[in-house]
A and B are shown apart, each in its own frame.
Chain A
């Protein structure tokens, strides 16, 4: 596959790892301790585990798995709202497959489907709109979730529905924004991070400028990273270069996909349809200012939250969960008191065990287990 296989080349990886080793030694001299780098995006977490990258890096580099899995951070109360809508007669509830298993306080969408709700998995919001056209006597509600990468697509779908005069299509909007979330992590007093691998696909929409404050104010390097294993390695190398030289700026490893200015057409679609919420509740992280969007009043007729009555009840995370500490990089998944015992991918308690992109699920699925050789010393 073009633009994929070239970036999975083993020989280049070996060379890169040798270089990372050299730079990491320099950085370790300068810092006097191992470097903690957070990959913000769940896609990176997935690549790191899928290719076994963590074990290949020198011991002086610790990867910390961040909050960038929009499914994992979805609070139970929002899932309950979705279930409540899906259970209303006449509704076809369309969702990405990711959201099917996320536990609500009573049930997941998968369980609601088993109980008879008409819930369909779609690949694209456009497919949900097509469902609405094909079923004019039904109400089709699309579960919009994801970061800025996905936001333009749902926005464009709403714009299309408005242009077509489609009356039976609406969106339950759970889109979230990455920058306020990174800021919340940076402001945490327990912060243990030295640099970031930035989310490549979010950045192809929002551009590089929004990250500049991270270097300027917090003195942390950010490298916008692609998702193939060589992309991840090269980005780690670039972060380590900055750390070894005492620099902290925003750099772009993923130039083939991410233009400096992002995608203005996509941003325009977002702005037309959505506006910032004052606060959005995150599973594990709590309420974060301006970290989510809602639909503008002009598109109220496509807003499922206005068209349907939903419980809108805040449900606290299970007390035993330490998802927040894992998300902030304060503890590793296996250090959580319920990891692999009360909380497993089959019966997830916490957000991070829910999706295969979640740090805990990835650890559980791909990571070392009891009986394996000991893990690398934990830097956090």
Chain B
């Protein structure tokens, strides 16, 4: 199956000269030969696929081929800025693929094509760019998606922080599937696919300014395979969302708000790694608000709970799947947590970013 719109286009191009410089200069953004070399050497070589090869200003797809996967197109875009660019368990490249793949997958779409646009600060090491591009290629291969178009800009020192990546993605939504934030009803179960807060803690730790060292790795992962399995086993799944910035607490608040229901979380059931707890205790943070990059919140009818859990647990990214709470009739929009003493507290949306505190 060829998705290339223009059959006469060459499928391979003359290999450009490899770059031997150590660092990116403004010349690489100038639109001339230096830029073509950079794009070829760093990106095209690793993303190599027939849809990318023509390097037209746009990727072209046959509608008929897309339609074999479902009846609606899903389209999403996400920009990735992370400090540091490489961290335990991942890097900005892996994040950029996973983030967009997951944003498509949680809508019930099969992710197919991604774009990759990079903004590079002059002076950024070529070796770093190569590692990031390789990581993107590896993750895209795992997720079964193709990077089919992109863009490269180089900006003067200080105009961006080393490297920003934007990926947009196209996927196709399975016919008949309708996942929605507004669909939660009293009695439904709230499920997550594993330990919470690993990514947020890994990033804070990797930044180094807090001088904390820990074995915590980011949970960053492409979840489309996991979600495929869940939807196949449990087509009555009502809603999925990846619990990125703002963490699980934010997602459940969004559900409670959109569905005008209450949600009660169970303190003892929220799965948090011992080291993440330690990390949070030291800095006075709440792990429920830490970012995740490989965790989803799923809302399923109570009757389908066991099936959903079993499906999630059978996948490598869902082995820690667990029910963390239930939708209630409680005040609409209100998320509460049953504390281990039988007490109750409100779990609100975060006002701003969580800051480390001493008191």
Q: Is the CB of A123 within 8 A of B348?
A: no
Indicate whether A121 sits within 8 Å of B356 (C-beta atoms), given known contacts A56-B341, A367-B346. Answer: yes
Q: Does A50 contact B (CB under 8 A)?
A: yes
Choose, from B67-75, B191-199, B276-284, the stretch at the interface.
B276-284
**Given A10-B342, A52-B345, A356-B357, residue A369 in contact with residue B211 (CB < 8 A):** no
B13 at the interface (CB under 8 A from A): no
**Which residue in B277, B339, B351, B358 is a CB contact (below 8 Å) of A52?**
B339
Q: Which one, A49, A54, A97, contacts B356 given CB within 8 A?
A: A97
Convert A63-74 into 0s and 1s, putting 1 for each residue whose CB lies closer than 8 angstroms to a CB of B: 000000111000
Residues 324-345 of B, flagged 1 when their CB comes within 8 A of A and 0 if not, give: 0000000100100001111111
Chain B at the A interface: SS class? loop
Could you tell me the distance between the alpha carbons of A46 and B212 in the complex, rounded to whole angstroms?
Answer: 24
B21 within 8 Å of A by Cβ?
no
The answer to the question of A51 belonging to the interface, with a C-beta cut-off of 8 Å to chain B, is: yes
Q: How many residues of B contact A (CB 8 A)?
A: 28
Interface bracket on A: 35 or more
The yes or no answer to A365 lying at the interface (CB within 8 A) is: yes
Determine if B331 and A372 form an interchain contact, defined as CB atoms under 8 angstroms apart.
Answer: yes
Per-residue CB contact flags for chain B residues 67-105 toward chain A (1 = under 8 Å, else 0) read: 000000000000000000000000000000000000000
Give per-residue flags for A4-21: 1 if the beta carbon is below 8 A from chain B beta carbons, else 0: 100010100110010000
Determine if B63 is an interface residue (Cβ-Cβ < 8 Å).
no
Q: Are A51 and B356 in contact (CB under 8 A)?
A: no
Complex contact A123–B341 (CB within 8 A): no
Residues of chain B within 8 A (CB-CB) of A146 are 358-359
Interface residues of B in 200-221 (CB under 8 A from A): 209-212
- Determine whether B355 belongs to the interface, using a CB cutoff of 8 Å to chain A: yes
Question: With the chains together, A53 CA to B344 CA distance in Å?
Answer: 8
Does A355 lie at the interface of the complex (its beta carbon under 8 Å from any beta carbon of B)? yes
Q: Which residue of B lies closest to A127 (CB)?
A: B211
Tell whether A355 pairs with B357 under 8 Å between CB atoms, given A4-B281, A345-B351.
Answer: yes
Residues of B within 8 A of A69 (CB): 359
Residue of A nearest to B277 (CB): A1
| Distance in angstroms between the alpha carbons of A150 and B342 in the assembled complex | 34
Can you list, as one digit per residue, whether each of B147-188 has a CB less than 8 Å from chain A (1) or not (0)?
000000000000000000000000000000000000000000
Asked if B348 and A365 sit within 8 Å, CB to CB, the answer is: yes
Q: Cβ of B278 and Cβ of A1 under 8 Å apart?
A: yes
| Chain B: minimal CB distance from A360 (Å) | 13
What's the Cα separation between A150 and B357 when bound, in Å? 12
Chain A residues whose C-beta falls within 8 Å of the C-beta of B342 in the assembled complex: 10, 14, 52, 56
- Decide: B283 and A98 in contact? CB cutoff 8 A: no
B274 touches A1 (CB 8 A): yes
A285 to B357, CA, bound (A): 23
Per-residue 0/1 for A336-380: is the Cβ within 8 Å of any B Cβ (1 yes, 0 no)? 000000000110000000011100000011111101100000000
Which residue of B209, B343, B351, B358 is within 8 Å of A56 (Cβ)? B343
Task: Tell me the bound Cα distance from A14 to B341 in angstroms.
Answer: 7
Asked whether, in the complex, the Cβ of B358 is within 8 Å of the Cβ of A101, the reply is: no
Q: Kindly state the separation between the CA atoms of A158 and B209 in the bound complex, as whole angstroms.
A: 20
> Could you tell me the distance between the alpha carbons of A229 and B209 in the complex, rounded to whole angstroms?
31
* B358 touches which of A4, A150, A364, A365 (Cβ 8 Å): A150
Q: Let me know if B352 is at the binding interface, CB within 8 A.
A: yes
Q: How far is the CA of A31 from the CA of B211 in the complex (A)?
A: 52
Name the distance in Å between B351's Cβ and chain A's nearest Cβ. 5
When chains A and B are docked, how far (Å) is the Cα of A369 from the Cα of B212? 38
Residue in B281, B282, B355 with the greatest tally of chain A CB atoms within 10 Å? B355
A365 touching B346 in the complex, CB below 8 Å, given contacts A51-B339, A371-B331, A372-B331: yes
In angstroms, Cα B357 to Cα A357, docked, is: 10
Residues of A close to B351: CB separation below 8 A? 345-346
Among residues of B, the one whose C-beta sits closest to the C-beta of A150 is B358
Q: Which residue of B lies closest to A368 (CB)?
A: B346
Of the candidates A101, A127, A366, the one whose C-beta lies within 8 Å of that of B345 is A366
Contact of A120 among B209, B277, B281, B348 (CB under 8 A): B209
Q: Check if A52 sits within 8 Å of B343, measured CB to CB.
A: yes
- Whether B357 contacts A53 by the Cβ 8 Å rule is no
Q: Using CB atoms, name the residue of chain A closest to B282.
A: A123
Interface status of A55 (Cβ within 8 A of chain B): yes
Residues of chain B contacted by A365 (CB below 8 angstroms): 346, 348
- Residues from chain B with a CB closer than 8 A to the CB of A123 are 210-212, 282-283, 356, 358
Contact string, A99-128, partner B, CB cutoff 8 A, digits 1/0?
011000000000000000000111100010
From B210, B341, B345, contact of A13 by CB (8 A): B341
Q: Which residues of B contact A369 (CB under 8 A)?
A: 331, 334, 346
Q: Are A101 and B343 in contact (CB under 8 A)?
A: no
Q: Are B341 and A52 in contact (CB under 8 A)?
A: yes
Between B281, B343, B344, B348, the greatest number of chain A beta carbons within 10 A of the residue's beta carbon is seen for B343
Chain B residues in 8 Å Cβ range of A55: 343-344
Q: Would you give the shortest CB distance from A50 to chain B, in whole angstroms?
A: 6
- Assess the A43–B341 pair: CB atoms within 8 A: no
Q: With a CB–CB cut-off of 8 A, which chain B residues contact A49?
A: 345
Residue A34, interface by CB 8 Å? no
Chain B contact residues, CB within 8 Å of chain A: 209-212, 274, 277-278, 281-283, 331, 334, 339-346, 348, 351-352, 355-359
Known contacts A56-B343, A98-B357, A101-B355; can you find 9 more A-B pairs with CB under 8 A?
A: A4-B281, A10-B341, A10-B342, A52-B343, A98-B359, A121-B356, A127-B211, A357-B359, A371-B331
5 tightest Cβ-Cβ pairs between the two chains A and B: A52-B343, A97-B355, A97-B356, A98-B357, A366-B345
Interface residues of A (CB under 8 A from B): 1, 4, 8, 10, 13-14, 17, 42-43, 49-56, 69-71, 96-98, 100-101, 120-123, 127, 146, 150, 229, 345-346, 355-357, 364-369, 371-372
* A-B pairs with beta carbons under 8 Å apart, 27 shown: A13-B340, A49-B345, A51-B339, A51-B345, A52-B341, A52-B344, A53-B343, A69-B359, A96-B358, A96-B359, A97-B356, A98-B359, A101-B355, A120-B209, A121-B209, A121-B355, A123-B210, A123-B282, A127-B210, A150-B359, A229-B341, A346-B351, A365-B348, A369-B331, A369-B334, A372-B331, A372-B334
